[in-house]
């Protein structure tokens, strides 16, 4: 699929999602629930001083990114020591082709996949299917989305957040399910189907939450047990990771994992924390006999050299999505990127270019909630603002706003113009008035007045009142 989800315009996507009442109610419910649980489990850290932990995890991530070349080398050397093979892919195509060619070369018929954002990013499923490989997503949500004609994920941690149990029942019904829309029954159906896939797969593909430089281990944290089956059942295994997934030590991982689980799902830990350390020892009943790690650049080294470097610290916990007041209203698909919410706003244009995504940086009220919750200490709202600056100043993307803001800058730096402008404004807005309020705006003001009233501009400005008062008048 790649980063972009569909070819519709930003406006079309937004309109569709704002009219999707079910999806919007699900977003509100999910945000409120995750945030309640999140606050609860965070308050248990460090006697309630979880900011201390947040600082430590941010430092661990920043340290790894600052010294990325060193730790990537160390990590790769250790993977080889553990009997694995490392491939550095410069872009999506190289990464996807490496895995696809490996599958073809080894005669792979079936792949079981664990949920991974980076494999979505490089469009791996598509290439494998084109090569005639049977691909099975094994994360329950991803499994649902695959059965639903590859419906794109709308959340980094909860990919099928936009579907309800009845919709999921309908998807399963097309695939042999005849029960009701009871979550436990639906899960049992999926489990039965998937168990067979694990046992008959020739290749396991998974992502990577953290790559530990000091040992060469791939860390995976999950809840369903499907990842552990991907890392144990097939003899041929491939881990695909963005090149920024590095942590220096297990000690750093300890802190980051604690915050990742708490932020992502509002739990103290996930059900499974798995470390994959290369190939298994001889005679072992399960585990990889052949192990490959694909380290994906795909634009990340360019980000590393840019003013947006900090975003590489992200650990994909989705705390920013879960707190964002805009994501809450519009849902993941409105971003038209597999990376949605505040992180998506920052990351998507960096990896996929501004051209298709130049509306994204404006999907932000700069409230700063994302920055406040980020366990990787990324100043997300400042980076979103920097995107706006690039669009406005370097790319000069909007003649309308360019002219408006030039005008505003002139008026606000010349008091006589300001006084004149604010003096005549009430007269100019008079035609828009109804019952003492502005109710029907024109041009950009319509965006406000379609659903909100605006107070009338004051005939007596504060400055007029103050002036008359100092003269001994109107007290």
Partner 1 sequence: MKVTLFTTCIVDFMAMNVGKATVELLESLGHEIDYPTNQTCCGQPMYNTGYVEKTKSTIKHFIETFEHAEVIVSPSGSCVSFVKEYPHVLADDKDWKERAEKVAAKTYELSQFLIDVININDFSAKLPGKAVYHSNCHTARFLKVKEQPLQLLSKVEGLELVDFHNSDKCCGFGGTFSVKMGDISAEVADEKARYIQEANPDYLIGADFACLMNIGGRLSRIGSNIKVMHIAEVLNSK
Binding footprint of partner 1 on the chain (CB under 8 A):
14, 18, 28, 32, 325-326, 328-330, 361-369, 371-372, 385, 387-393, 401-402, 405-406, 408-415, 418, 422, 425-426, 437, 439, 444-448, 450-455, 457-458, 460-467
Alpha-carbon separation of residue 125 from 12, 54, 117, 119, 459 (angstroms): 26, 35, 12, 8, 63
In whole angstroms, how close is the CB of 463 to partner 1 at the nearest point?
Answer: 6
In whole angstroms, how close is the CB of 436 to partner 1 at the nearest point?
Answer: 10
Cβ atoms of 3 and 349 closer than 8 Å: no
Phi, psi of 293 (to 5 degrees): -120, 125
Q: For residues 433 and 445, which CB has a smaller minimum distance to partner 1 in the complex?
A: 445
Report DSSP state, residue 193.
Answer: H
Q: For residues 30 and 445, which CB has a smaller minimum distance to partner 1 in the complex?
A: 445
Give the number of other CB atoms < 10 A from CB of residue 258: 20
In whole angstroms, how close is the CB of 308 to partner 1 at the nearest point?
Answer: 15
Q: Write the DSSP string, 415-450.
A: HHHHHHHHHHHHHHTGGGEETTEE-S--GGGHHHHT
Could you tell me where the beta strands, DSSP code E, fall in 124-202?
Answer: 134-137
Q: For residues 179 and 402, which CB has a smaller minimum distance to partner 1 in the complex?
A: 402
**Sequence-ordered list of residues with C-beta below 8 angstroms from that of 168, at least 6 positions apart, any chain:** 144, 160, 181, 186
In whole angstroms, how close is the CB of 464 to partner 1 at the nearest point?
Answer: 8
Q: For residues 93 and 459, which CB has a smaller minimum distance to partner 1 in the complex?
A: 459
Q: For residues 196 and 406, which CB has a smaller minimum distance to partner 1 in the complex?
A: 406
The first and second tokens of residue 122, run together, are 């490089």
Q: For residues 111 and 326, which CB has a smaller minimum distance to partner 1 in the complex?
A: 326
Phi, psi of 16 (to 5 degrees): -60, -45
Could you tell me where the beta strands, DSSP code E, fall in 104-260?
Answer: 110-113, 134-137, 203-206, 210-212, 217-222, 236-242, 246-247
Q: For residues 104 and 420, which CB has a smaller minimum distance to partner 1 in the complex?
A: 420
In whole angstroms, how close is the CB of 63 to partner 1 at the nearest point?
Answer: 24
In whole angstroms, how close is the CB of 260 to partner 1 at the nearest point?
Answer: 23
Burial class (CB in 10 A: 0-12, 13-18, 19+), 301: middle
In whole angstroms, how close is the CB of 465 to partner 1 at the nearest point?
Answer: 6
């Amino acid at each position: 699929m790649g980063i972009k989800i569909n070819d519709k315009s930003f406006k079309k996507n937004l309109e569709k999602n704002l009219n999707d009442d079910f999806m919007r109610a699900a977003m509100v419910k999910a945000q409120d629930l995750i945030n309640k649980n999140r606050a609860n489990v965070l308050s248990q850290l460090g006697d309630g001083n979880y900011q201390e932990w947040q600082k430590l995890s941010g430092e661990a991530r920043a340290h790894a990114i600052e010294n990325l070349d060193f730790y990537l080398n160390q990590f790769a050397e250790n993977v080889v020591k553990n009997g694995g093979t490392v491939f550095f892919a410069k872009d999506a195509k190289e990464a996807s082709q490496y895995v696809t060619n490996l599958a073809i070369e080894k005669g792979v018929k079936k792949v079981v996949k664990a949920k991974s954002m980076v494999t979505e990013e490089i469009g791996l499923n598509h290439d494998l299917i084109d090569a005639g490989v049977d691909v099975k997503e094994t994360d329950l949500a991803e499994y649902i989305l695959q059965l639903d004609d590859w419906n794109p994920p709308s959340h980094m941690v909860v990919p099928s957040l936009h579907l309800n149990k009845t919709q999921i029942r309908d998807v399963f019904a097309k695939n042999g399910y005849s029960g009701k829309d009871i979550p436990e029954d639906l899960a049992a159906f999926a489990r039965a189907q998937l168990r067979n896939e694990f046992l008959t797969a020739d290749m396991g593909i998974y992502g990577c939450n953290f790559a530990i430089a000091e040992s060469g281990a791939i860390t995976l944290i999950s809840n369903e047990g499907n990842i552990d089956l991907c890392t144990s059942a097939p003899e041929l295994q491939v881990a695909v990771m963005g090149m920024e997934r590095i942590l220096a030590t297990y000690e750093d991982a300890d802190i980051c994992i604690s915050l990742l689980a708490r932020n992502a799902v509002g739990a103290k830990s996930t059900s499974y924390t798995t470390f994959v350390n290369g190939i298994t020892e001889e005679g072992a009943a399960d585990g990889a006999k052949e192990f490959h790690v694909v380290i994906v650049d795909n634009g990340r080294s360019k980000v590393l050299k840019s003013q947006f470097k900090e975003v590489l610290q992200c650990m994909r916990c989705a705390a920013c999505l879960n707190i964002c007041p805009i994501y809450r209203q519009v849902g993941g698909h409105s971003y038209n990127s597999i990376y949605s919410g505040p992180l998506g706003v920052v990351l998507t244009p960096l990896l996929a270019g501004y051209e298709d995504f130049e509306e994204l940086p404006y999907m932000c009220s700069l409230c700063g909630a994302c920055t406040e919750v980020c366990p990787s200490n990324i100043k997300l709202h400042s980076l979103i603002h920097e995107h706006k600056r690039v669009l406005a100043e370097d790319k000069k993307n909007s003649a309308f706003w360019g002219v408006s803001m030039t005008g505003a800058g002139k008026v606000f730096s010349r008091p006589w113009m300001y006084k004149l402008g604010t003096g005549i404004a009430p007269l100019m807005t008079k035609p828009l008035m109804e019952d003492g309020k502005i109710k029907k705006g024109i041009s950009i003001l319509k965006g406000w007045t379609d659903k909100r009233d605006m107070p009338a501009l004051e005939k007596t400005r504060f400055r007029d009142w103050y002036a008359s008062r100092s003269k001994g008048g109107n007290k």
